[in-house]
Amino acid sequence: MKKNIFIFTFFLVSAGILQAQEAGMVHVKEGSFVPLYGASSKRPVFVPSFYLDIYPVTNSDFLKFVKKNPEYSKSRIKRIFAEKSYLSYWKSDYDLGTAHPKSPVTSVSWFAAKKYCECQGKRLATMDEWEYAAMADEKRTDARTKKEFNEYILSWYEKSKTYENPIGQTFKNYWGIYDMHGLIWEWTADFNSIFLSGESRKDKSTDKNLFCGSASVNATDLMDYAAFMRYAFRGSLKAQYSTRNLGFRCASSTKPKI
């Protein structure tokens, strides 16, 4: 009997810890790095300290948001803010159907992701913040030169339906963040990219419709295919797009309130 009580208590505590982690953020200290899009001078970009969600936003998290903000439900959201594929894998507005509650929410537009974070008193991470946090492996803040690290990322690109996996099953990086690689692609805040928008390198215009980065022209290291793929994917997006492998997590410039 005592053994059963102990197991039950352990289960409750463990579940409580996981729930607290899901709602938690970690502090990412300031630093500099040379992003893929850097000029030929390879001048580093300074990233001020910020806070980032430990995990991507889950289906259950987003369901709570939709219930409080029904204008962002799949049947009521305006098409200017999301295309028809928005939350298409949910059974209905407030029914996840066969979707796992603890899997990351996907098929959400940039507008919906931005609104969700704002309702939490947070924001979407900038592209530089996301890339800065994502270049860390378990032990190093910058593991981009490690062959094993890039092979891990590239091997994930070849897999399918990883977005159906629950959060927290990938490695915990140096900052204490999970699922930066190996689960989903993620929105970033940047909507007015500094990148070139056209297929021609002579095209100097800026595409106002690119909300998540753009083409990786002027990349500092064209051999960095893991990062190149992310920039290429971002360059194909518009703010109302919603794809099955694209989700998000939130960030904050200040320490979040508990």
Residue 82: its pLDDT value, please?
A: 97
Domains observed in the chain: 2-252 (3.90.1580)
Residue 191: its pLDDT value, please?
A: 54
Is 92 in a helix, a strand, or coil? strand
CA dihedral sign of residues 15, 19, 22, 24: negative
Residue 258: its pLDDT value, please?
A: 63
In this prediction, the residues of the chain whose per-residue pLDDT falls under 50 are: 1-22, 39, 194, 196-223
Question: Please, is 45 exposed, middle or buried when counting C-beta atoms within 10 Å of its C-beta (0-12, 13-18, 19+)?
Answer: middle
* pLDDT tens-digit map of 104-136: 999 999 999 999 999 999 999 999 999 999 999
Which residue pairs from 152-160 have beta carbons closer than 8 angstroms and sit at least 24 positions apart in sequence?
A: 152/181, 152/182, 153/181, 153/182, 153/226, 154/225, 154/226, 154/229, 156/181, 156/182, 157/226, 157/229
Q: Tell me if the pTM is above 0.85.
A: no
How far is the C-alpha of 59 from the C-alpha of 106, rounded, in Å? 8
Q: Are the beta carbons of 125 and 249 closer than 8 angstroms?
A: yes
Is 46 in a helix, a strand, or coil? strand
Residue 38: its pLDDT value, please?
A: 63
Residue 190: its pLDDT value, please?
A: 85
Residue 54: its pLDDT value, please?
A: 98
| Phi, psi for residue 58 in degrees, rounded to 5 | -95, 170
Helix residue ranges, H only, 24-69: 59-68
Helix (H), strand (E) at residue 127? helix 127-134
Residue 192: its pLDDT value, please?
A: 52
